Amino acid sequence: MLALIPLFPFLGFVVNATMGRRLPKSVSGGLASLVMLASFAVSVISVLQLAGLPPDARTIDQTLYTWIASGDLNIALAFRVDPLSAVMILVITGIGSLIHIYSTAYMHDEVDSEFARYFSYLNLFAAFMLVLVLGANFPLLFVGWEGVGLCSYLLIGFWYKKKSANDAGKKAFVVNRIGDYAFILGMLALFAKFGTLDFRSIASAVAVLPVETEFGILSLAALLLFIGATGKSAQIPLYTWLPDAMEGPTPVSALIHAATMVTAGVYMIGRNAVLFSHAPETMMIVAVIGALTALMAGTIGLVQNDIKRVLAYSTVSQLGYMFLAMGVGAFGAGIFHLYTHAFFKALLFLGSGAVIHALHGEQDIRNMGGLRKELPLTYRTFLIGAIAIAGVPPLAGFFSKDEILFETFIEGHTLLWVIGALTALLTATYMFRLVFLTFWGERRHDAPVAADAHSAPSHPHTVAPSHHEHQHLHDAPPAMALALVVLAIGSVAAGWIGIPHALGGSNRLGTWLEPAFTVSAAAGEGGAAEGGAAADGAAGTDHTALEFSLMTVSTAIAVVGIAFAYFVWVRRRRVADNMAREFPGLHRLLLNKYYVDELYDATVVQPIKAASTEGLWRWFDVKVIDGAVNGSASIVEGSAAMLRRLQSGSVRAYAGSLFVGVVVILGYYLWR
């Protein structure tokens, strides 16, 4: 039954990849959407089945066969759904279905074969992502992990005729590879320590160990796994690929680079919650990296001019929030934010896609404005997404973000809380800057033409802006509108299943997830007592007053951020430019993303390039490898030059040597 969940999208992939070029768009796109819906249906059935079990025993296993059996290593191809992966499969298949439907309209201008290629990648991605979250052991998770990386590469470079898209795809792939290397090392460390790679077995084995007070094997393994997560989930120092990944089609950005794939790292930490909670040093690193990433990406997002890049930095920032939550031990809060973020960030990306679609590929917000009247549906849904991410109650983002900030505060990380709150302010500001610049005011054409590479529209059907200046713009077609509306409803309501106790809710999501982060009595023998993982649901009662005040603070922060954005970008348009002129250094620093790409280029890319050119090519390849080949040839040549003198052509000399040879051999045998 569980196997069907990834199998349906895989089937869609096989059909679209093999026969897609001969199918009309309605069939290939419809099939791709249909298999996602089927997968969603199976997911819902599985989750309902799971919910019917008592909370302690909420896992469903399905072992298909033994995948690898080699000595101590025994890996089964096994799927497991527990409360954590239940949330994940619903998000992936649910939002995935909507984005597939949206894509049928968004990608409609492509020719049939490209259209089918797009959907085959998208289906393949969904299949791998589902393997990732359903896999019951590390290698299976890693299969999904690498598979989604592959699909990400393929989809970022979907418009492969564009050099920037190809470069972005390669960058994503290479940067991810760095993280994956650490991830493999982490797996090996765990196998060396515990002799198993099954999540549940590792968790039970870890649970009986004491919490590491200093940096030991558990901390090392957890840290290596986290480095893998920084690659996949775009955290410092490996986040640079995600903003570039916006070269891909917008629905891809929504599905892969906002809602699902980039949250794989968060999921992985949640999956190994017991391990991570036994490694407090690593947890601290996770929390600090998360908070710093959130802040840094937030500040960059404030000045970017490409609508998708703002959203990309926003994604990095929100992922930072999730890691902050994971790092302070609030696993439930992190997954909660993952889940709500999937709704509103997918909504925002799809909304931006609708804008780009309507403007025929324009992505620079300096060339937008006044779209409120022309694209009313897009505007309204985008606004809902923006309010949700800004953290205004009672929309989804408020509850999850607030829970993270609250948990951070409760755990005593005041500085991290301050960073988180600051980031919340930035989030509200840059999101509403985006809203105001895109939808309010009058239509502008401020962007310097081809001023920087990023403002070049990546949509293939680019027309010069002046051509459609006076044209009537078309709001989202039905398939896109459906996805926008459903996601908007989700962005409003998704948070309601996690209303904290302080507001009279019961944080049902937290309670639901809790067994996934501890070792249940049924699974680990005697390990349950030691398994001190998250207990976020229970924390609320003692701190109601504190929670209220923190909530007030974060709501106030959101409102202040929105008001600030309104003041700067609607009332006083000059203020923003003045500020940029006032602090030119800071502005340039932010606009150039802290020069991190340049830094990496100088410290990593160029040295590797130089070492490869001078060391590997000019020395090793030319001298050593070619030298060995040419050297053996000249040895043969030289020795042959001497040996050929023996062939004198004189028959009597041959006969003489033959005779001598016979005498020597016979003599040897006779007189030895």
As measured in angstroms, the least distance from the Cβ of 656 to another protein is 6
CB of 630 to another protein, least distance (A): 23
In the complex, least distance from residue 647 CB atom to another protein, rounded to whole angstroms: 5
Contacts of 560 (CB under 8 A, 6+ apart): 425, 428
3-state secondary structure (DSSP) of residue 445: coil
Q: Which is nearer to another protein, 545 or 651 (CB)?
A: 651
**CB nearer to another protein: pick between 545 and 670:** 670
CA 13, CA 32: separation in Å to the nearest integer?
A: 8
Give min distance, CB of 649 to another protein, in A: 3
Nearest by Cα to 251 from 82, 115, 80? 115
Query: What is the C-alpha to C-alpha distance for residues 446 and 275, in angstroms, rounded to an integer?
Result: 52
Closest CB to another protein among 585 and 649? Answer: 649
Give the DSSP H or E segment for 76.
strand 73-81
Q: Please, which residue, 644 or 672, has the CB nearer to another protein?
A: 644
Separation of alpha carbons 34 and 41, rounded Å? 10
Residue 655 CB, nearest approach to another protein (Å): 6
Q: What are the two backbone dihedrals, phi and then psi, of residue 81, each rounded to the nearest 5 degrees?
A: -115, 125
Kindly state the DSSP code that residue 160 receives in the 8-state scheme: T
Q: How far is the CB of 671 from another protein (least distance, A)?
A: 16
The CA distance from 319 to 341, in Å, is: 9
Number of residues that bind another protein (CB under 8 A): 11
Positive or negative: CA dihedral 382, 383, 386, 392 = negative
Q: How far is the CB of 639 from another protein (least distance, A)?
A: 14
Give whichever of 453 and 651 is closer to another protein, judged by the CB atom: 651
Share of the chain residues as helix, strand and coil, in percent rounded to the nearest 5: 75, 5, 20
| Between 414 and 657, CB nearer to another protein | 657
In terms of CB distance, is 73 or 662 closer to another protein? 662
399 closest CA partner among 541, 529, 497: 497
Residue number with CB closer to another protein (213 or 647): 647
Q: What's the min distance (Å) between Cβ of 648 and another protein?
A: 6
DSSP 204-227: HHHHTSPPPSSS-HHHHHHHHHHH
Minimum distance from CB of 659 to another protein (Å)?
7
Contact 77, 140 (CB under 8 A): yes
Nearer to another protein (CB atom), residue 210 or residue 649: 649
Cα–Cα distance between 444 and 432 in angstroms, integer?
Answer: 18
| In the complex, least distance from residue 634 CB atom to another protein, rounded to whole angstroms | 18
Q: CA separation (Å) from 20 to 30, 154, 626?
A: 12, 17, 46
Q: How far is the CB of 642 from another protein (least distance, A)?
A: 11
Q: How far is the CB of 651 from another protein (least distance, A)?
A: 5
Cβ atoms 393, 495 nearer than 8 A = no
Q: Which is nearer to another protein, 45 or 663 (CB)?
A: 663
- Length, in residues, of the chain: 672
Tell me the C-alpha distance between 255 and 125, whole Å. Answer: 10
Residue 653 CB, nearest approach to another protein (Å): 9
**Which run of H or E residues covers position 120?**
helix 112-134
Nearer Cβ to another protein (627/661): 661
Nearer residue to another protein within complex by CB, 629 or 642: 642
**Stretch 588-607: interaction string toward another protein, x if CB under 8 A:** --------------------
Scan residues 612-671 and list those touching another protein (CB under 8 A): 644-645, 647-652, 655-656, 659
- Give the nearer residue to another protein in terms of CB position, either 563 or 653: 653
| Burial label, 162 (beta-carbon count in 10 A; 0-12, 13-18, 19+) | middle
Alpha-carbon distance 40 to 591, whole Å? Answer: 41
CB-based contacts of 145, cutoff 8 Å, min separation 6:
132, 180, 183, 228, 232, 264, 268
Longest Cα–Cα distance of the chain, Å, equals 116
What are the angstrom distances between the C-alpha of 173 and each of 124, 266, 370, 576, 617?
A: 17, 19, 38, 36, 24
Q: Whose Cβ is closer to another protein: residue 544's or residue 648's?
A: 648
Residues that bind another protein (CB under 8 A): 644-645, 647-652, 655-656, 659
